[in-house]
A and B are shown apart, each in its own frame.
Chain A
């Protein structure tokens, strides 16, 4: 009995670590993609604007699972072989990057026009204005929506188990098949997700307070 408990728990812990890795890496990549796409969407270069808009409209509207199937099972057919975790992370990043872009863009609306004018009259170029003036303010203002993007990345990472990654849900399923612990097991997994989401929300509030003070 002792040993099965130990084995089972290590399986769950590994699953949790996988889920966390997918979420954190996926969210970081989504943030980068979102910033890039936002920069494209407000740039004076028309093709880049078009690409930004197309990216957002496409990936905001495609179901994550659909994209996962395309990337995991479809890409090998055209000669692109990605490791499973990389494939899942890129799907997560692509979809949530589109939402992050919209969050950041709505944060940009909070940047006072005067601040941008001031930056430009000081001689800052487009890139420098974005990097030094617009993005810092916009990111701070879009903190709460970005926390929501993080949570949706977390929830989205659970779809990895539908394409064969053993994340927390995958591990719970495997253990349930063997041990039939049933509800307790799934409730524990759900509790972990809720705890992470609540933690992220609390962190968002703390950061918001700290940043609004300075």
Chain B
């Protein structure tokens, strides 16, 4: 069923002469409004001397760029470690919650519901302040990664479970009728389809993980945001450094979202091509 407001297609008829005039006026007015906002922003920056070239000179300073580069590498390392751990764990949690055995399903459900709604910062603080006294004392990097895994894997689990529930019932019955045991049905039928169906949603969790890694800032792990804070304390040009780092984060996440979109498109087209 086609809907009028699908995607970016605007919800209006082809405009007549009067509407066209009005749209032209609104175009001009909103364009002017945007220009004014941009102008005022630039003016506010310029009036405080924030646009002075020497305030942006860290962009051409090799050592400072390298310093930020270390942060970027740490962010990427932290995010990939967290992703590599939380995806398998999420699938395992989803399988447990989906299981017929209550002693497996109940605790998994509780675990998922709790850690889905606990703030990551709280988990990190617990790992940091209480971890050592409980005999849990890996490096700061691993504390951060494990805290992220703890908070992201339940989200992954729920995404996967939604995919598992979307597998048509008839397929499962057919597989059971063929004599496959429940474990085989899951391994051969449900999980592969769920993962394929949910690939875009799972990939978009990567963006969430990258964002979560910025919490290293709050606990002193030298990821990109923390490095930018150190650099801006050193140069005294906080707004410039933070703006540049924000742009880096946005570009990184946009690239990840773009990949997710690509995968979603491919998933749709293969789904249609399948007999």
Task: Show the binding face of A for B, using Cβ within 8 Å.
Answer: 41-49, 51, 53, 57-58, 60-67, 69-70, 73-75, 77-80, 105, 108-113, 116-117, 120, 126, 129-130, 134, 151, 154-155, 158-159, 161-162, 169, 172-173, 176, 182-183, 186, 189-190, 193-194, 196-198
Contact = CB atoms under 8 A, between A and B. Distances in A.
B147 to A, nearest CB: 12
Nearest to A80: B44
A113 B2 contact: yes
Given A66-B214, A162-B217, A194-B113, A182 B133 contact: yes
Given A65-B214, A77-B238, A186-B126, A44 B10 contact: yes
A162 B30 contact: no
B130 A183 contact: yes
Contacts of B3: 108-113
B50 A77 contact: yes
B23 A44 contact: yes
- Classify chain B: how many residues form its interface, as a range: 35 or more
A190 B121 CA distance: 10
Contact of B243 (A70, A158, A172, A198): A70
B245 interface: yes
16 contacts: A42-B8, A44-B12, A44-B19, A51-B34, A62-B246, A62-B249, A65-B218, A66-B214, A67-B246, A70-B243, A74-B239, A108-B5, A108-B11, A155-B117, A162-B218, A169-B121
Contacts of A108: 3, 5, 11
B26 interface: yes
**Overall SS of chain A's interface:** helix
Interface in B23-72: 23, 26-27, 30-31, 34, 44-45, 47-48, 50
